Structure 1
Amino acid sequence: MPSVPHLRSGDQLAGRYRIRHLIGQGGMSRVYLAEDMRLVGKQWAVKQSLTEYENGLSFREEAEVLIGLDHPFLPKLVDYVPPTEEGVAYLIMDFIKGKTLQKLHEEEGPLGPERVGKYALQLCELFRYLHEHRPKPIIYRDLKPSNVMIDEQDNVRLIDFGIARNYRQGGTVDTIQLGTLGYAAPEQFTRTQTDPRTDLYSLGAVLYSLLSGGVLYPSRPAPGSFLASGQAEGWRSLIAKLLMERPEDRLQSAEELGRELNRLLAGLKPLGQRNGPRGESSTSDGARLVLVGSLYPGAGSTFVAVALARSLDRLGQASTLIEHAGNRPELFALLGGEQTQPYGYSSYIERPGPHRPEQTSAWMHGRSEWLPLPPDYGGRGRSEEWTEEDYYRLLYDKKGPVTIIDCSCDWGASSLLRLSRSADYLVIVGDPMAYKWSSHEAMETIAALESVPDNSGKIVWVANKCTPFRQMKEWLRAFPDPPLCRVPLLPEKLLLESAWEEKLVQDHKEAASVLQETLQPLLKRLASPAGVKPPGRRTAFLTRLL
């Protein structure tokens, strides 16, 4: 570091921060531990640096980047001490108790695939936040084990934003090329612009190093014992996709990487080869993930989800229907409850324990597999107990080509917001009750859907409970996009008879033919080509309603 005076124990900054000792030093800065003279017992990390770096962001620019960020895997900037006469300034940040990944690796040796995978998933989540930051995405550009702290809760905390930069859309060249040999992407040393794929390359290099005993890529090949585990081939394949020389040949986003990591950690085969200019992945068997939810409570997401599953069954297509952990239990009763549940069945939400077998009987109805919540389950208050990773483990264990999750109106659940990014379709159901369209729940649902990246073509609107009424055209125009399907309001007689007979109304002969016809546009998208039948003649019942 250029000639900047060392701080000594007892030195004070801004009349508030008393220096205790040096805790870290890099090429452009030093970091000290300090105690707060106003808040007794509070400790801070004090980063000291010249106001202007020779390369990368100025110190003030680094402060401006950090002050605008708010993420649990980042340290929080709390104060900025202006430059002294020597041109030295200070950032006051959270003091993170823990060790860097580099230190952990030196002390403990290989950390193991599961632990490394956990940290990689957290870095994926953080990079997704940085790369989607507004008004400008942020490219970190300096990921390496020494810049990743592992705190006392065993979570990552990314430190040192000294060479981060704002991504310039349409730009072709970085002002300064920077990076750490062994971890930096090739474009960081050529006259090309870095972008989110640059950070993914560095993450791949970090994984390579941690899982190979400290070997830097591409200094020399990893030893033959590289990941001598049952998942070795999956990790090799994933890391190879990250370390491609050309950015366009790599995985294209933190979201895409997160999906593959989840599958790998669940003990599954990697996703199929990338098959498009944007680098989308798909499973080799063409499986579909569909989230069905209401625009507001009571619009009929469960009705539509069950209708989809049973209609696919009649096309010869297997499917799995999962009732999301944030719902109020409803599917169990609709299916007939204890009278019809198979012997040895246990709800997916009841995690394996000493008295619960890991494998339980599947609740099947034809080709439809049901995963309802227990009737006494707590619902919304417990929705966060099941994470995105839990659902990935559940989803990709299913053999059917279509998995449907009934989300009710719980779009705010973090697991659903993240699953929405991976879903093939988000089916949103609305009914003709006008006063609900301006409700708080409807506005929250719209906001959640707008936050899903690349949602164009993914969101499908379904008009439920369609029946002729004077304002019907106005109602249909209220949908953000024209509804793909118009599901009729079934006669109350059918609903009551099915309920008393403890049968699904969707399987009633008269209702089934109507639902099959009205859901045909969506069924075409979900069913395999061999299973789709051409639309038949509309029934008199359907014509009378619509």
Structure 2
Amino acid sequence: MSKQNWIGTCIGGRYRIESLLGQGGMSHVYLAEDMKLKGKKWAVKECLPFEDDMTYFLEEAEMLARLQHPQLPQLVDYFTTDEGKGFLVMDYIQGPTLQDLFEEKGRELPVTKIIHIAFQLCDLFHYLHTFQPRPIIYRDLKPSNVMLNEQAQVRLIDFGVARHFKHGKQSDTMQIGTIGFAAPEQFLGLQTDARSDLFTLGSMLYYLLSGGQYAYITQKPLEQLRQDLPEALTSTVSLLLQEHPQNRCQSAMEVKMRLRSIYPEPTTVPESFNQKNQLITPLPDKLIVIGGLFAGVGSTFTAICLARTLHAMHIPNAVVEQPTIEPDLYMLLFGDTKAPKDYAFVSKLIAEQTVSTTSTWTNGFSTWVPNHPEGFPNNWQPADSFKLLHTIKKPIVLWDVSTHWEHPSVQELCHSADEIIVVLDASPGKCNRPSSRALFNRFDTYQKRGKKVHYVANGYLPGNFRNEWVDSLPAAPLCTLPEISRAEVIRAVWRGECIQDQPEVLEQLSVALAPLLRVILTEDTFRKRGLKLKARKSLFSWFRKHG
């Protein structure tokens, strides 16, 4: 039967077709009234069989049935007819498509609105790409498949060409997509993955920001068409549109982090006033990966130094210990005494998919997320890192990876990070090891992809030796941590204290870390929230100075 024949008929024993909502090459979507639930409207999708094979219809139905996300279509029923037609019954989402809105506004939308849509699409892609037991690749992002409600909330529709990603498979069974938006590999007989969806996101951003032009037709960088756009935005679109997947952004969270550094999300805390009625600028949301070039260089100590300096500036932050590394943070913080009585290790809860109402471990403006002192016994997947990241409601997240730069979850974090901090000490021999040089090459790759990589020296090297050491590095250290007596650090740990909280030490750290803090917080935020300390002299320091 043609599409006209369905209107006015009742199918599936309960759905009366009222009108045609939309159509594409593989399906027609109708508005239907539920004859059992009077007044209830549904969107009924008629799926056209592919070469008389209903396998794809059943796969789409099974996929949609498993999805539980408020911004994705909820499948409520599906059935087939004697004629071999397949029907999906889904939520009826009222509202215009993004394409409708784009045309209505004369193909000009505010950049902030486009970025707000992109934020939501990144969250949706992250949900799909980390879906278990297998990731889901959407494959057909375009303005006509994005709907907006009255609150400008995005809803993705039409999963007709979505598929589960299978590791080791060389190509897709069907190469389907919309010309102008689909990734090259969708038409080259190659397997699609999460990066294919990111290409379509880049294509759609190009289309919306250029007034409706297609990147594959113009063959022009976006900055040539819109010179008013920030360079960070045009470079992100350019990165998404790279022909080879390995040259694109590698995850939806990486895209979101890059865009968030340009435009804050609408949920960002607005400007406020401090106790002296001075205007305080909003804090930037930052994921900062911290690790050592080699073992024992002090990446955990550096993370704590940064956290307590931010605490002294009244800036909320969290220190996360990478679950795959050897535990250290719990001991340094004297966890047996200082951790909350009902504290449970968050990484363990996430790996076990356990829901818990245990309290967080906070110390002023810092939140600690350590590993269990006995280590993490399970496999830690990249998706687990993002689940953990989403549980932390702090603007600055310091993620300590120690030396586990090669772990897949750490590499995924680095692709998504706003800043990467590499801690090293003045040991020329260690910096010239083959393993160190290989890491330098990895960091250089991150920088070429637009990531900010900073080197921090832990300790000084005297005289000309320091110059020779700096010359051997890819870049000079942005800052150098002051020398702090190891004996004093151990004494503080045994007392259950952070030596970084001692006024004299904190003052040294605030001066030493200032170049790095200016980068993390931006110059304006650093200036307005800058640490102003007057170190209190203890009797011990007076006797040490005067004898």
Q: What range describes the TM-score normalised by the shorter chain of this pair?
A: 0.5 to 0.7
Query: Displacement of 1:523 after TM fit?
Result: 8.9
Moved more, 171-180 or 254-263: 171-180
Moved more, 16-25 or 197-206: 16-25
For 1:114 and 1:426, the matched residues in 2 are separated by: 42
Number of the residue aligned with 1:103:
100
Q: Secondary structure at the match of 1:531?
A: strand
Number of the residue aligned with 2:336:
432
Number of the residue aligned with 2:242:
244
Query: Displacement of 1:6 after TM fit?
Result: 3.5
Structure 1 pair 88/211, CA: closer, same or farther in 2 (3 Å)? same
CA contact (8 A) 2:334 2:494 kept: no
Taking structure 1 as the reference length, the TM-score comes to 0.56
For 2:494 and 2:207, the matched residues in 1 are separated by: 64
Q: Which runs of 5+ in 2 are unaligned?
A: 266-285, 291-300, 354-366, 378-421, 426-453, 458-478, 496-547
What is the percentage of aligned positions where both structures have the same residue?
A: 40
Amino acid of the residue matched to residue 344 of structure 2? A
CA contact (8 A) 2:45 2:87 kept: yes
How many pairs are equivalent? 353
Structure 1 pair 227/55, CA: closer, same or farther in 2 (3 Å)? farther
Amino acid of the residue matched to residue 210 of structure 2? S
Number of the residue aligned with 1:227:
226
Amino acid of the residue matched to residue 135 of structure 2? P
- 1:5-16 correspondence runs (5 A): 6-16=4-14
For 2:166 and 2:489, the matched residues in 1 are separated by: 58
CA contact (8 A) 1:56 1:164 kept: no
Structure 1 pair 431/523, CA: closer, same or farther in 2 (3 Å)? farther
Q: Secondary structure at the match of 2:168?
A: coil
Number of the residue aligned with 2:348:
446
- 1:279-428 correspondence runs (5 A): 289=288, 311=305, 319-321=309-311, 368-371=312-315, 404-405=317-318
Structure 1 pair 203/527, CA: closer, same or farther in 2 (3 Å)? closer
Number of the residue aligned with 1:531:
480
CA contact (8 A) 1:56 1:162 kept: no
For 2:489 and 2:138, the matched residues in 1 are separated by: 62
For 1:319 and 1:241, the matched residues in 2 are separated by: 35
Number of the residue aligned with 1:255:
253
For 1:213 and 1:14, the matched residues in 2 are separated by: 43
Query: Displacement of 1:225 after TM fit?
Result: 7.4
Number of the residue aligned with 2:191:
193
For 1:444 and 1:544, the matched residues in 2 are separated by: 23
CA contact (8 A) 2:423 2:456 kept: no
Structure 1 pair 19/289, CA: closer, same or farther in 2 (3 Å)? same
Structure 1 pair 426/185, CA: closer, same or farther in 2 (3 Å)? farther
Structure 1 pair 152/426, CA: closer, same or farther in 2 (3 Å)? farther
Query: Displacement of 1:27 after TM fit?
Result: 0.8
Structure 1 pair 153/257, CA: closer, same or farther in 2 (3 Å)? same
Say yes or no: does 1:542 pair with 2:542: no
For 1:187 and 1:310, the matched residues in 2 are separated by: 44
Structure 1 pair 56/193, CA: closer, same or farther in 2 (3 Å)? farther
Number of the residue aligned with 1:207:
205
Taking structure 2 as the reference length, the TM-score comes to 0.56
Query: Residue deviations 1:210-256, cap 9 Å, x none?
Result: 11010012111568873353x34232111000000111111111010
Say yes or no: does 1:91 pair with 2:88: yes
Say yes or no: does 1:119 pair with 2:117: yes
Say yes or no: does 1:154 pair with 2:152: yes
Q: Secondary structure at the match of 2:133?
A: coil
Query: Residue deviations 1:113-150, cap 9 Å, x none?
Result: 10010111111000111111111111111111111111
Q: Secondary structure at the match of 1:59?
A: helix
Say yes or no: does 1:132 pair with 2:36: no
For 1:310 and 1:24, the matched residues in 2 are separated by: 56
Amino acid of the residue matched to residue 487 of structure 2? R
Number of the residue aligned with 2:446:
none
Aligned-residue RMSD, C-alpha:
4.2
Structure 1 pair 71/308, CA: closer, same or farther in 2 (3 Å)? same
Structure 1 pair 540/28, CA: closer, same or farther in 2 (3 Å)? closer
Amino acid of the residue matched to residue 310 of structure 2? T
CA contact (8 A) 1:122 1:156 kept: yes
Amino acid of the residue matched to residue 47 of structure 1? K
Q: Secondary structure at the match of 2:19?
A: strand
Q: Which runs of 5+ in 1 are unaligned?
A: 268-286, 292-306, 322-367, 373-403, 408-419, 452-458, 464-475, 482-521
Question: Between Structure 1 and Structure 2, which shows a larger proportion of helix residues?
Answer: 2
Number of the residue aligned with 2:435:
none
